[in-house]
Amino acid sequence: MSNIFKRIISLVLAVLMLLPLACCGKTDEEKMLEMRKNEELYTPDLSSADMALTADIDLNEIHQEIKGFGGINYPGWIDDLTKEQRETAFLNGEDQLGFTILRIHVDPDRENWQREVETAKYAYDQGALIFASPWNPPAEMCEKFNHNGNADAQRLKHDCYEQYAAHLNDFVTFMRDNGVELYAISIQNEPDYADEWTWWSTDEIMDFIKNYAGAIDCRVMSPEAFQYRKDFYNAILNDEDALAEIDVFGTHFYGTQKADMAYPLFEQNGEGKELWMTEVYVPDSSTDADVWPQAIEVAVNMHDGLVTGNMQAYVWWYIRRFYGPMKEDGTISKRGYMMAHFSKFVRPGYVRVGATEHPNPNVSVSAYKADDGKIVIVAINHSLNKLSQEFSISGGEPITYAESYMTNASVNLQRTGNIAHTDSSVSILMTPESVTTLVLETGSPAEP
């Protein structure tokens, strides 16, 4: 056989081998889903469980768009995340959190800004939104004053507002020059709880926003209140000039009760603005993050913030800490799995839809949908009872596939796949004190 003929045969064989790939062109996720749909059908045994009322999911009842979930990395106070820990935080494979937001610190000393780059660049390259918060302006811009009897309180000098806006803008430029485009930059971390950092009054905040914030070449986030106190948010929302300068309203949830999470004035005046929960730890910072069922309080706080507060983002304090989503050894904690029930499945761009919030007094339900027909339902069973929970879906195409992920005292994100369902309903078994995420695929029925 001639060398020319051999080359022709080799070329033909190579083309034939590539044809299936060219024709199919399926992603790894699509291939995995196809494989899972061929699994043996799973029907949960609900016979010994207490019945909860049906939870109705209305896909036509549209609420807020979800921006994501995440936490802060603060290498000025604790060690930077390692390469492996960055992967655990910002990738979305097995034993990974799937975080899509990173908060970083604006150090008053620009010589320390380089500390923020490595983790921020990694997260940004994975598609995460990066935002920054300052605790203090540079020392030369600050002065001491008497705040409620504290003569050592600190504030920004009133004649340094323009310099401070330039300082924040310089940080935006620095991060941009290092490959990270900030999504937003905050004006101040907790100006209402500033024993160790900088105080701002509402009048001072309004002056800065209206007259100086426009010089910052980035989305501007409001100062982030310690406890969702709304004094300066109200002032911004009621002032057209100030409101025009703010893109994202950010708040912390320390001690914030569910009844205080709703914000009618924002719903009325905040059209086109975003609303983020930008820092919290629950229930405390003194207990190990694996204590169960205490960790369920994280899922409850997230549920309340998303459903009652209409928050578009939920951002923890330290990503890696003994009381946080990632433990000091880099493994995911029980509190982290509570966050993962949302962060791994309710991805950026999903919208929250209507759901019966409490089909049982001890059950909390929220639901979300994506443009591609996926539906995610997160159900929290606070009770000591095993519960049968049915979900009835309206306003969309028929359900074609269902799977669930459950965390309780003994398992973490345990998957039950290919769950039996009808075109518009599916039932799951919820073990006592557990959280379940139900993931549904919908679409037109397959042709026979």
Q: Write out the catalytic residue numbers.
A: 190, 279
Q: Is 211 helix (H, G, I), strand (E, B) or coil?
A: helix
Q: Is 164 helix (H, G, I), strand (E, B) or coil?
A: helix
- For residues 59 and 396, the answer to whether their CB atoms sit within 8 Å is yes
Contacts of 334 (CB under 8 A, 6+ apart): 289, 290, 291, 292, 295, 407, 412
Backbone phi, psi, residue 7, to 5°: -65, -35
- For residues 375 and 366, the answer to whether their CB atoms sit within 8 Å is no
Q: Classify strands 434-442 and 375-381 as parallel, antiparallel or unpaired.
A: antiparallel
Query: Nearest to residue 379, comparing CAs of 341, 332, 421?
Result: 341
Q: Which amino acid is at 4?
A: I
Contacts of 62 (CB under 8 A, 6+ apart): 351, 352, 353
Query: Nearest to residue 344, comparing CAs of 410, 400, 405?
Result: 405
Please report where in the chains the tokens 């796949």 appear, as a residue: 417
Q: Which amino acid is at 410?
A: S
Q: Classify strands 184-186 and 129-134 as parallel, antiparallel or unpaired.
A: parallel
